[in-house]
Structure 1
Amino acid sequence: MTTIAFLNHQYLPLSEAKISPMDRGFLFGDGIYEVIPSFGGRIVGFSAHMQRMENGLRALEIENPFDRESWQRVIQSLLDKNGAHLGPSIGVYLHVSRGMEMTRNHGYSENLTPTVFAFAFRIPPSQSAHPDEVKGLHVSLAKDLRWQRCHIKSTSLLGNVLHFQEAKRDGKHESILFNHQNEITEATTSNVFIVEQGIVRTPPLDNQLLPGITRKLLIESLINENIQVEEVTISTEKLMNADEIWLTSSSKEVAPVVSVDDNLIGDGKPGPLWRKALLAYDRYKFN
């Protein structure tokens, strides 16, 4: 069955969606994107995803082409049109570029019409909280070589792609990144949490990492369940000696890490606090 996409106010088969090669999103990666998960037709974190996209568009000085109600209609329409063949677990990708102009200049015209693109795709079902049913992640550790505005969810993801591909080449699921001060920033597609002596810790938000929506919802759910959580600087040494490590993203939800550079974390299995955190997140994520 054909996947239906949305491009500039039209719904059409994904294979027929076309943009100009002069679009600044194609030439410069000049745009913002979001990936919003849904399970059983219920959207996770809609308001938080919209707020982050609005912040990113504002930072790039791109006019938001839709209000929230219009975005919600687009998302719901894509779920309705694609649910029959994609199943109950669907992600929706939203993409807004600055638009197209017929000259290639680093400087851009002020009155371009943004290009709006969205499509739906299958994502894994909600994570099982049973340790024996979960595939723990094996990750690498690498110096962060990306640009210094990682808090903006830009479509310019080449740095992330190169880090991820290096980890994949080494047989790992992900790569956790650290800055020149040996402080953890984030992973290539995820935020990072550690557990130390029963306390959950994650790096504070700044320009070095994306304000992940799953990160936000997890922190709120932990607080709601009276599980202690702190936003603090995490050194590579603390990461390697952590009792547990988790990665969070819209598709991973809360995923346990069982090794970093082939060094086992804890006993090499998902830890007990991970299960409590995932259950707390599951109870909270549709709020």
Structure 2
Amino acid sequence: MTRIVYVNGRYVPYADAAVHVEDRGFQFADAIYEVCEVRDGSLIDEARHMARLERSLAELQIRRPMTAAALGHVMRQVIRRNRVRDGLVYLQVSRGAAPRDFSFPGPDVPPTVVCLAQSISAAHRDLKALSGIAVKSMPDIRWQRRDIKTVMLLPACLAKEAARKDGAREAWFVDAEGFVTEGASSNAWIIDQGGAVITRQLGLDILPGVTRATLLDVLAEEKMQLIERPFLLSEAYAAREAFITSATQTVMPVVRIDGRPVGDGRPGPVAAKLRQKFHHFAAISSA
């Protein structure tokens, strides 16, 4: 089946999808994006993703290309046209195409909107959660507005590639003081020896993960102890459990950090429970 991509008002075959050579997303990384999980043909936590997209647009002063409802329609059309039951839908908005200049173009330049969908086996992800993943720590060299979901992802690509070469699936960024900020494409969590769930508090240092927010709902309902604070890499090495959260991984256990086993080196019961509970709390919107 030919994949279909939405580009600026048109649904086109994947091979024909293109944006202008002077699009600012291409030349300046002047763009934001969202990735939303598709599960059983439904969108997961759509409202939270749209709220974060609106915030990212506002922080970068990019004009909203259409209403949240219209963007939702685009995502559903792309999901339907690609017959995606389980996977993800990717939505990107750039400032638009204009002659190359560091200054923002005028209000007459429309934003560029791209949307695509991809099937990912839910069974494969669940199987991976049974064994857990390894992560590699890397110095955090990103800019200081990590709370905005921009396409400026070169530091994340470099970290992911270093992790892959080291046999790990994800990278955890570590700041100059030795504290873990977040994963290259996820939020980072540990469970200490006392059973407290620890993750860094929101701020300019990390992305306000949508899956993170929903997991906070789960923790509150389950009356589990949550501590929002930075944690040292050394604390992660000594943790009882560790895991990451993201739209594509939901709750994914971490069993090794820098080659060192976390706990007994197997997925722990808390991460497994949170993963099992997650979709009971997530907002599910029919596609």
Aligned counterpart for 2:178 among listed residues 176, 182, 186: 182
Deviation, 1:110, is 2.6
Is structure 2 residue 285 aligned with structure 1 residue 272? no
Q: Gaps spanning 5+ residues in structure 1: where?
A: none
206, 219, 222: which is aligned to 2:219?
222
Residues of 2 paired with 1:152 and 1:109: CA distance?
Answer: 21
CA distance in 2, matches of 1:19, 1:176: 32
Shift of residue 243, structure 1, vs aligned partner: 0.4
Match of 2:144 in 1: 148
Corresponding residue number in structure 2 for 1:162:
158
Is structure 2 residue 262 aligned with structure 1 residue 251? no
> What is the alpha-carbon root mean square deviation over aligned residues?
1.5
Aligned partner of 1:148: which letter? Q
Contact in 2 for aligned 1:222/1:280 (Cα 8 Å): no
Q: What is the DSSP-based 3-state SS (H/G/I as helix, E as strand, rest coil) of the residue aligned with 1:134?
A: helix
| Aligned twin of 2:24 | 24
Q: CA deviation at 1:107?
A: 1.0
Please tell me whether the aligned partners of residues 147 and 208 of structure 2 are also in contact (alpha carbons under 8 angstroms): yes
Structure 1, 51-60 or 223-232: larger mean CA deviation: 223-232
Q: 1:77-88 counterparts in 2 under 5 A?
A: 77-83=77-83, 86=84, 88=85
1:35-73 Cα distance to aligned partner (Å, 9 max, x none) = 011111111010100011100000110011111110111
Runs of 4+ that moved beyond 6 A? none
Query: Structure 1 residue 76: deviation in Å?
Result: 1.1
How far did residue 123 of structure 1 move? 2.3
- Could you tell me how far apart the structure 1 residues matched to 2:121 and 2:263 are? 26
Write the mapping of 1:30-179 to structure 2, written as runs, cut at 5 A. Answer: 30-83=30-83, 86=84, 88-101=85-98, 103-111=99-107, 112-125=109-122, 127-128=125-126, 134-179=130-175
Task: Structure 2: give runs of 5+ residues left out of the alignment.
Answer: none
Q: CA deviation at 1:276?
A: 1.4
The corresponding residue for 1:14 is 14
Deviation at 1:258, TM superposition (A): 0.5
- The 8 Å contact of residues 222 and 281 in structure 1, kept in 2 or not, is answered as no
Instruction: Give the residue type in structure 1 aligned to 2:10.
Output: Q
- Aligned-partner Cα distance in 2 for 1:67–1:175: 35
Residues 225 and 280, structure 1, Cα contact 8 Å, conserved in 2: no
Matched residues in 2 for 1:136 and 1:15: separation?
A: 35
CA contact (8 A) 2:46 2:283 kept: no
Following superposition, the deviation at residue 136 of structure 1 comes to 1.1
2:36 and 2:43 in contact (8 A); partners too = yes
Q: Kindly state the Cα deviation for residue 23 of structure 1 after the two structures are TM-superposed.
A: 0.7
Amino acid in structure 2 at the alignment position of 1:55 = R
Out of 141-150 and 27-36, give the one that drifted further: 141-150
Structure 1 position 222, deviation (Å): 1.5
What amino acid does structure 1 have at the position aligned with 2:34?
Answer: E
Partners of 2:268 and 2:195 lie apart in 1 by 11
Sequence identity (%): 33
Give the TM-score normalised by structure 2.
0.94
- TM-score, normalised by the number of residues in structure 1: 0.94
Aligned partner of residue 204 in structure 2, secondary structure: coil
